């Protein structure tokens, strides 16, 4: 039998606010354990939560960018369970009436038509702290609790079970990742857990319209692992069914080392979270004006920007997509064009030299040592014939190293292109004189030798000779 | 006159004129505490050194000409208010070693005005109870008759005022926990409108019902205390951002033309005859003062106690989850995490707290949530609507505070349902979120105080205080002293 996988994703997006969702403590990563805490995030008796407005603004932006409706009156709820990293014994989250509902994203898989994936809801919640084993407690067998992360703001983005393959899941996830980083509401760091995903996976016979029993897979923290975990889980469920077994509803943990999933808890062991509205927080009322204001403040989103790059700047679709991979990259590109660069050429340089240099040095585009204006200046030097394209690459490397302007590098190092025919002719004469045998070969019909002479002339001019002038003159002279 | 018997206003006059210093007053109160505590048991913690040190600071402020109504006045707080550096137990063993790192907003406001803290007062554990018998730190006795309970859960706060162990105190009221003990101990107790006073730093029992309020010797003191503690607190999202009126200014405006509603559901058969006659006399007094009476109905009153015990316990079951032995409070010796949770909580919580955690956990459980919690919220709305409708016709309502005077210690300990019913007239006010005042209005044949409850519109504390003040001027119940 053939099986159809059915996948839904729950994505936790850690928001880039300076302070926590219900108190004024810093959200900075990596501080001394428990140094960023107060009575509220420690869950001390008598402490009360106060909602961080920035979190609401970020949630609205995320909702509008994923085509959600913004709930006019949304409610915070308590999710009750005991764990040492959960100071209050409950997590403040949203259950009924989350802030965003009924959204969607269109995903694209190479060579296929785009597909619409529904987003059920986006809600706001606080993160838990984390357990530290051994070191913090100062006892070999003890465990400690670090509550710096407790109460940091999260969005949970829940998709409908609309995804049908691991590729679709990854595509959806990448697009969501692009949007939240584009909006500047999440740093997108999957390793540090700023963007993490649980996957609900089931399989059913092809052609069926009844979903199979699903397993929830937790702890998947890279795109690669998402693909791996889902594929493993699909195969596990198919094998189970083929062997006459049944899939049980359970929570499974992904192990990145083995690439497998293993049971964490069964349905019977599942928590009864006893959700109820948090009486410490009043209902969150969001006016239409507020939503409109947020809509106005939204940046141009990747999809829109791609369209514009194609329509206004004449970029091919592939270039437009690559150049909108992140907002910073698209900004860099546009700044280069604004500084006078030809769009296609700026694009090629970004996708070529700049991407290579960024990757080689592990530098993000935001801190690229060559500014878009400098790049445009460099391109101008090629356009007006001051340097050749080849020399430009040398100049670029120097710009990257020293941060100097291209013009001054060219001047200091005497890299100005030689287009003076007299000067080039005398080099050609010397080369021909020194290589009389090769001249004879060429004249005898060995056309391939032409490249040899070009190379010799360029070498003798230290790369500065204008290649088209060299070509033209060489051709004439070699003819005899 | 004994210093410890004075009202805030009386002592203020003495302090301001420098006839008495705050240190002298504080010493007088500390002496008084020492002599009557063995019989009353109002306090869990007395803080003599801190009290005298603060009093000395207050005296300095007074010497420099800075003397507001609360400067140098010795007060005490229910042990539910967090006090930085001073043990705060909430009447529970689970917090018997808890020294808070911060203070409740309401206490900070009093402290900033120069008030002196004598100590922390006994209460039912986590404010769950109507008799102060559920405290892990021993019972509190009624100063009028020590065989009787003082009421609860702010029993220590009421008993301390009645036994002259503090000039005034703060309590909290979730279902009657200020008004019922005030009534049983013959003092004035106010439960302000929900949102009028910050709950920040007050240990939560049932967050949607809890409210902070004063217990005092007379209505003028009550107005002064409320003025000091009321107001918006950015740290409490449920505190309301409306201006705090000058409660003292309108005290003497009288009750001529005031429309007082008598809800028929509160004058039931089975009301103690002494309570009934105290109510009759109070109605007569108000009539004489020019108030008008209107018969009204609050039809969903019968459901209030059941509704309260679903909502309050549901919230409590969640609020008390943080007492897990991990970060503060009692931690039992244990073998593993689950064992630590189980033992710490089993040892730390008393029987009534456990009962309510169980009830509330059940009410929120999957499969029961709609039938219990959601249904209770709907009934709560009906009860609120009862009040809104009735207040269309009247300015305040007059009812008994409790169906009987204070019962005997031990009388209802084994009958929680009977105990719960003693709050039948106070609970609806918390569910409706409005304000109510408990006033001394007479005595039973056996000499126990009887209280009168005035219920006001939301943020109608001025009406209550004005009506209470007029009653006080026309009667002398509040001037009587317990002979302890």
Cβ contact (<8 Å) for B235 and A50?
Answer: yes
Candidate from A31-35, A459-463, B69-73, B433-437 with smallest mean pLDDT: A459-463
pLDDT tens across the length of chain B (484 residues): 999 999 999 999 999 999 999 999 999 999 999 999 999 999 999 999 999 999 999 999 999 999 999 999 999 999 999 999 999 999 999 999 999 999 999 999 999 999 999 999 999 999 999 999 999 999 999 999 999 999 999 999 999 999 999 999 999 999 999 999 999 999 999 999 999 999 999 999 999 999 999 999 999 999 999 999 999 999 999 999 999 999 999 999 999 999 999 999 999 888 999 999 999 999 999 999 999 999 999 999 999 999 999 999 999 999 999 999 999 999 999 999 999 999 999 999 999 999 999 999 999 999 999 999 999 999 999 999 999 999 999 999 999 999 999 999 999 888 888 888 889 999 999 999 999 999 999 999 999 999 999 999 999 999 999 999 999 999 999 999 998 8
Residues in chain B with CB shorter than 8 Å from the CB of A39 are 101-102
CB-CB neighbors (< 8 A) of B365 in chain A: 272, 274
Tell me, yes or no, whether A305 and A278 share the same domain: no
CB-side exposure of B214: number of CA atoms within 13 Å? Answer: 27
- Same domain for A205 and A106: yes
Mutate to test the interface with A, among B338, B359, B364 (most CBs of A within 10 A): B364
Contact B201 A46 (CB under 8 A): yes
* Together in a domain, A408 and A458: no
Q: Are residues A407 and A425 in the same domain?
A: no
Helix (H, G, I), strand (E, B) or coil at A259: coil
User: What is the radius of gyration, based on Cα positions, of chain B?
Assistant: 21
Query: In this structure, what DSSP letter does residue A31 have?
Result: P
Identify the pLDDT of residue A188: 95
Give CA–CA dist A41/A86, Å, rounded. 9
Output the DSSP codes for A367-414.
G-SS-HHHHHHHHHHHHTTSS-HHHHHHHHHHHHHH---HHHHHHHTT
- The beta-carbon neighbor of B104 closest among A46, A80, A281 is A46
pLDDT in tens, A141-191: 678 899 999 999 999 999 999 999 999 999 999 999 999 999 999 999 998
**Beta carbons of B317 and A280 less than 8 Å apart:** no
Taking CB atoms and an 8 Å limit, are B237 and A49 in contact across chains? yes
Residues B306, B250 within the same domain: no
Residues B81 and B191 in one domain: yes
Does the pTM of the predicted model rise above 0.80? yes
Where does the pLDDT of residue A426 fall: very low under 50, low under 70, confident under 90, or very high at 90 and above?
confident
Which residues, other chains included, contact A434 with Cβ-Cβ below 8 Å and sequence gap of 6+? Answer: none
Any idea which residue has 């009830």 for tokens? B359
Residue B273 lies in a domain: no
Residue B162 lies in a domain: yes
pLDDT at B415: 85
Same structural domain for residues A258 and A308?
A: no
Nearest Cβ partner of A274 from B100, B208, B364?
Answer: B364
Chain A residues whose beta carbon lies within 8 Å of the beta carbon of residue B204: 45-46, 280
Nearest Cα residue to A67 out of A380, A349, A394, A301: A301
Answer whether residue B395 is part of any domain. no
Q: Quick one: which of B181, B188, B179, B183 has its CA closest to B247?
A: B188
* A64 and A142 belong to one structural domain: yes
In a domain, B289, yes or no: no
Give the C-alpha separation, A76 to A92, whole Å.
7
Of A46, A272, A275, the CB nearest to B200: A46
How many contacts (CB atoms, under 8 Å) link A and B? 101
Band (pLDDT 50/70/90 cuts) for residue A137 is: low
Residues A38 and A108 in one domain: yes
- d(C-alpha A431, C-alpha A477), whole Å: 11
Pick from B100, B237, B369: CB nearest A282: B237
Q: Which residue of A has its CA nearest to B198?
A: A48
In a domain, B394, yes or no: no
Statement to judge: residues A383 and A427 lie in one domain: no
**A479: confidence class by pLDDT, cuts 50, 70, 90:** confident
Give buried/exposed letters for A180-195 (b at 16+ CB in 10 A, else e). Answer: bbbbebbebebeeebb
Mean pLDDT of A435-457: 88
A88 touching B, CB under 8 A?
yes
Query: For residue B60, is it within any domain?
Result: yes
List chain A residues with CB under 8 Å of B98. Answer: 45
In a domain, B396, yes or no: no
B238 lies within 8 A of chain A by CB: yes
Q: What whole-number percentage of chain A has pLDDT above 70?
A: 98
Domain of A472 in residue numbering reads as: 421-479
B174 & B99 share domain: yes
B285 contacts chain A (CB < 8 A): no
For residue A136, what pLDDT band results from cuts at 50, 70 and 90? Answer: low
* Residue B459 at interface with chain A, using a CB cutoff of 8 Å: no
Q: Quick one: A267 and A153 in the same domain?
A: yes
Tell me the chain B residues in contact with residue A34 when contact means C-beta distances shorter than 8 Å.
none
The kind and range of the H/E element at B428 are helix B427-432
Of the candidates B438, B449, B384, the one whose C-alpha atom is nearest the C-alpha of residue B192 is B438
Q: Is A5 an interface residue toward B (CB < 8 Å)?
A: no
Report pLDDT for A111. Answer: 75
* Residues of B known to be catalytic: 78, 153, 177
Asked whether residue B92 falls in the same domain as residue B212, the answer is: yes
User: Are B43 and B150 found together in one domain?
Assistant: yes
Domain final position from A291, A316, A335: A291
Q: What is the CATH number of the domain that holds B59?
A: 3.90.1300.10
A-chain CB neighbours of B341 within 8 Å are 82
pLDDT at residue number A476? 87
pLDDT confidence of residue A474? 87
Domain range for B308: 302-378
Through-space distance between the first and last CA atoms of chain B, rounded to whole angstroms:
16
Per-residue pLDDT at A140: 62
> Which residues 6+ apart lie within 8 Å of B58 measured at CB?
B15, B22, B71, B72, B114, B116
Tell me how many domains chain A contains: 3
* CA B199 to chain centroid: 13
Same domain, B218 and B154: yes
* CATH code, A456: 1.10.10.410
Do residues A386 and A425 both lie within one domain? Answer: no
C-beta separation of B106 from B80 below 8 A? no
In the prediction, which pLDDT does A139 show? 59
User: Do A266 and A64 form a contact (C-beta atoms < 8 A)?
Assistant: no
State the burial class of residue A38 (Cβ atoms within 10 Å of its Cβ: 0-12, 13-18, 19+). middle
Residues of A in contact with B100 (CB under 8 A): 44-46
Which A positions 46-85 lie with beta carbon below 8 A of chain B?
A: 46-51, 78, 80, 82, 84
Sign for the CA dihedral angle at B171, B131, B207, A23 comes to: positive
Say whether both B243 and B137 belong to one domain.
yes
Of B100, B321, B364, the CB nearest to A88: B321
Length of chain B: 484
Q: Which of B326, B336, B359, B367 to mutate to test the interface with A (most CBs of A within 10 A)?
A: B326
Spatial CA neighbour of B318 closest among A86, A187, A170: A86
Per the domain annotation, does B285 fall within a domain? no
Query: Which residues, 6+ apart, have CB-to-CB distance to B76 below 8 Å?
Result: B42, B43, B117, B118, B119, B120, B121, B156, B157, B160, B165, B166, B169
Residue with token string 């979270």: A273
Q: How many structural domains are present in chain B?
A: 2
B68 contacts: CB under 8 Å, gap ≥ 6: B113, B114
Is A268 touching B (CB cutoff 8 A)? no
Residues A295-316, mean pLDDT to the nearest whole number: 94
Tell me whether A34 touches chain B (CB under 8 Å).
no
Which residue, B378, B396, B426, sits at the end of a domain? B378
- Read off the pLDDT of residues A66-107 as tens digits, 9 standing for 90 and up: 999 999 999 999 999 999 999 999 999 999 999 999 999 999
- Report the pLDDT averaged over residues A132-148: 75
């Amino acid at each position: 039998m053939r099986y159809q996988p059915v996948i839904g994703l729950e994505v936790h997006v850690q928001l880039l606010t300076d302070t926590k969702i219900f108190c004024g403590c810093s959200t900075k990563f990596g501080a001394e354990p428990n140094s960023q805490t107060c009575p509220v995030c420690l869950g001390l008796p008598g402490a009360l939560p106060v909602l961080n407005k920035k979190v609401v603004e970020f949630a609205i932006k995320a909702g509008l960018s994923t085509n959600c409706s913004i709930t006019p009156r949304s409610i915070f709820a308590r999710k009750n369970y005991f764990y040492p990293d959960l100071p209050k014994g409950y997590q403040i989250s949203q259950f009924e009436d989350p802030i965003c509902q009924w959204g969607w994203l269109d995903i694209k898989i190479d060579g296929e038509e785009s597909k619409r994936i529904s987003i059920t809801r986006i809600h706001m919640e606080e993160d838990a702290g984390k357990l530290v084993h051994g070191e913090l407690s100062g006892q070999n067998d003890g465990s400690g609790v670090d509550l710096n992360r407790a109460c940091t703001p999260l969005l949970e983005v829940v998709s409908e079970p609309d995804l049908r393959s691991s590729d679709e899941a990854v595509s959806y996830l990448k697009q969501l990742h692009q949007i939240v980083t584009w909006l500047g509401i999440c740093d997108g760091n999957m390793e540090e857990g700023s963007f993490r995903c649980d996957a609900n996976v089931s399989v059913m016979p092809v052609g069926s319209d009844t979903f199979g029993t699903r397993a929830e897979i937790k702890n998947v923290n890279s795109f690669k692992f998402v693909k791996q975990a889902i594929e493993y889980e699909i195969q596990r469920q198919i094998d189970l069914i083929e062997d006459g077994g049944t899939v049980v509803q359970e929570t499974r943990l992904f192990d990145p080392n083995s690439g497998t999933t293993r049971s964490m808890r069964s349905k019977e062991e599942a928590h009864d979270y006893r959700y109820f509205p948090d009486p410490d927080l009043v209902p969150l009322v969001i006016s239409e004006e507020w939503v409109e204001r947020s809509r106005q403040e939204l940046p141009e989103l990747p999809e829109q920007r791609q369209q514009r790059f194609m329509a206004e700047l004449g970029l091919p679709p592939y270039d437009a997509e690559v150049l909108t991979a992140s907002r910073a990259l698209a900004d860099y590109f546009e700044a280069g064009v604004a500084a006078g660069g030809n769009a296609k050429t700026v694009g090629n340089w970004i996708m070529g030299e700049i991407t290579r240099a960024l990757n080689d040095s592990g530098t993000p585009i935001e801190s690229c040592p060559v500014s878009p204006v400098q790049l445009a200046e460099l391109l101008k030097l090629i356009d007006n014939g001051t340097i050749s394209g080849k020399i430009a690459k040398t100049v670029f490397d120097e710009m990257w190293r020293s941060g100097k302007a291209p013009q001054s590098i060219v001047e200091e190092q005497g890299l100005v292109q030689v287009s003076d025919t007299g000067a080039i002719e005398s080099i050609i004469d010397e080369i021909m004189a020194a290589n009389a045998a090769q001249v004879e070969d060429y004249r005898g019909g060995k056309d391939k030798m032409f490249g040899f002479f070009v190379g010799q002339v360029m070498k003798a001019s230290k790369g500065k000779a204008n290649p088209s002038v060299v070509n033209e003159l060489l051709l004439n002279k070699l003819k005899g | 006159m004994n210093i410890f018997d004075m009202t805030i206003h009386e002592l203020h006059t003495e302090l301001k004129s420098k006839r008495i210093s705050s240190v002298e007053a504080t010493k007088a109160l500390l002496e008084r505490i020492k002599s009557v505590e063995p019989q009353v048991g109002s306090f869990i913690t007395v803080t003599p050194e801190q009290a005298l040190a603060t009093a000395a600071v207050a005296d300095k402020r007074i010497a420099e000409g800075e003397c507001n109504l609360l400067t140098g006045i010795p007060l005490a707080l229910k042990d539910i208010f967090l006090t930085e550096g001073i043990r705060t137990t909430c009447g529970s063993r689970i917090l018997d070693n808890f020294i808070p790192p911060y203070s409740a907003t309401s206490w900070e406001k009093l402290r900033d005005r120069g008030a002196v803290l004598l100590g922390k007062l006994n209460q039912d554990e986590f404010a769950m109870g109507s008799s102060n018998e559920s405290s892990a730190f021993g019972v509190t006795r009624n100063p009028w008759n020590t065989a009787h309970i003082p009421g609860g859960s702010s029993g220590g706060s009421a008993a301390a005022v009645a036994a002259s162990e503090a000039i005034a105190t703060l309590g909290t009221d979730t279902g009657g926990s200020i008004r019922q003990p005030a009534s049983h101990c013959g003092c004035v107790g106010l439960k302000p409108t929900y949102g009028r006073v910050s709950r920040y730093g007050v240990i939560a029992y049932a967050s949607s019902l809890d409210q902070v309020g004063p217990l005092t010797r007379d209505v003028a003191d009550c107005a002064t205390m409320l003025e000091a503690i009321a107001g918006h607190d950015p740290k409490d999202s449920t505190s309301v951002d409306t201006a705090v009126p000058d409660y003292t200014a309108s005290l003497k405006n009288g009750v001529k033309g005031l429309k007082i509603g008598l809800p028929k559901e509160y004058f039931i058969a089975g009301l103690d005859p002494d309570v009934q006659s105290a109510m009759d006399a109070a109605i007569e007094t108000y009539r004489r003062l020019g108030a008008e009476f209107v018969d009204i109905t609050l039809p969903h009153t019968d459901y209030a106690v059941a509704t309260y015990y679903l909502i309050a316990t549901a919230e409590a079951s969640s609020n008390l989850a943080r007492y897990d032995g991990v970060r503060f409070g009692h931690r039992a010796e244990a073998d593993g995490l689950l064992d630590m949770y189980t033992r710490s909580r089993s040892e730390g919580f008393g029987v009534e707290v456990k009962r309510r955690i169980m009830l509330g956990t059940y009410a929120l459980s999957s499969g029961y949530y709609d039938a219990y919690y959601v249904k209770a919220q709907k009934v709560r709305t009906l009860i609120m609507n009862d009040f809104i409708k009735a207040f269309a016709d009247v300015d305040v309502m007059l009812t008994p505070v409790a169906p009987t005077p204070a019962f005997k210690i031990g009388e209802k300990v084994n009958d929680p349902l009977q105990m719960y019913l003693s709050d039948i007239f106070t609970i609806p006010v918390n569910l409706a979120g409005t304000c109510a005042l408990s006033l001394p209005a007479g005595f039973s044949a056996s000499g126990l105080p009887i209280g009168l409850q005035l219920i006001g519109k939301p943020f109608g504390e001025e009406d209550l205080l004005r009506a209470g003040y007029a009653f006080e001027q026309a009667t002398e119940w509040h001037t009587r002293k317990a002979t302890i």
